[in-house]
Amino acid sequence: MKSNNSKSFDSSRRTFIKHVSFGAGALSLGFTSPLIKKIYFQKDIKNKMGVALVGLGNYSTNLLAPALQETEECYLAGIVTGTPSKAEEWSKKYNIPKKNIYNYENFDSIVNNDEIKIVYVVLPNSMHAEFTIRAAKAGKHVICEKPMAINVNECQLMIDACKENNVGLSIGYRMQFERHTIEIIRMAREKEFGDLTTINAGAGFFMRNVNAWRAKKDMGGGAMEDIGIYSLNAARYVTGEEPISVTAQSYNSRPNELTEIDETITFQLLFPSGVIANCMGSFGIGISNLYAQATKGWFGLNPFSSYRGIKGISSNGPIQFTEKNQQAVQMDEMAISFRDNEPLKVTGEEGLKDVRIINAIEESIRTKTKIML
């Protein structure tokens, strides 16, 4: 049964194939003997949950696939791609059996593959809902990249599909699994520096490829969706509250290049406790920091959303932990929850909350008013 959003899903897929050409270059496993490689692979996957990556763009190629060589609870079992050359390259590089390689059209036949337990949706935002729902109907647990979907209705369809098919749904908020970030959350909850008063969070980079899907509105692109969501989620996990209002502004220094989206978005969130969060997401400014001011001191992360090198800071000195592969930690913890039917740290409902606020931020920009949540 197709949802009411099936037409937009089909359109998104066609647009995706037309506009997006992702680069290759994942790390090689480095084995010289096919026999040794086969024996190692068979030994390595014992008792692990097989993961299929849907979409082989930069994040899958350069971060998730290498991370799956470090995971202890899951492994790279399959891929879904619309590019035959990528299918061949990944098959050789990661010893992926041909039967575990799918394209966007035959994806539903994954229901018959017992080696694949988890589907990780790493597609443009406009395609998240379709492939999450299809994966759920195939009986697979789902990890979906953030933002969860385009709107609240799509999010709810995804949540319902996973519940109806008795599979888990988690959203790829890797920062909530990162050790320094977990410490920041603890410090806020335990009021180590007193009551919170303000939060400042900024996430951004200069996007040079203005033809990327992230710059296409119909594909779910935008500074808020792609990078601003880090600041939004940080404000929520630091306070442990849901905002009651939002006011937002936008700016575009390259209107002739970024014709469909805003380059930079700033927004202010008011929380029930009285905490005010000043946040930013930008495709024009390189920034990655999170500061929480409290009545007896301050603490934060700088950088706070990068793939590596997260550093904790506070008015009492540095916050230091041994760095681990963020994606590997995230996927291992999710795999354990799926396998053992334990509560997920990050649920579909968490993703829905951010999407609802993102939609309100866009409404505030459009109407130039404060939006009550």
Annotated catalytic residue, options 94, 104, 120, 230: 230
Angle at 307 between CA 130 and CA 282, to 5 degrees: 70
Which own/partner contact pairs does 114-117 have at CB distance under 8 Å and 24+ positions apart?
115/50, 115/77, 115/78, 116/50, 116/51, 116/52, 116/77, 116/78, 116/140, 117/49, 117/50, 117/51, 117/77, 117/141, 117/338, 117/339
Contact between 118 and 143 (Cβ < 8 Å): yes
b/e 51-61 (16+ beta carbons within 10 angstroms → b):
bbbbbbbebbb
Residue among 107, 124, 129, 103 at smallest CA distance from 59: 124
3-class secondary-structure state, position 56:
coil
Residue 146 bears catalytic tag? yes
Is 117 noted as a catalytic residue in this protein? no
The one catalytic residue in 48, 146, 216, 353 is: 146
* Pairing mode, strands 312-314 and 297-301: antiparallel
* Residues known to be catalytic: 146, 230
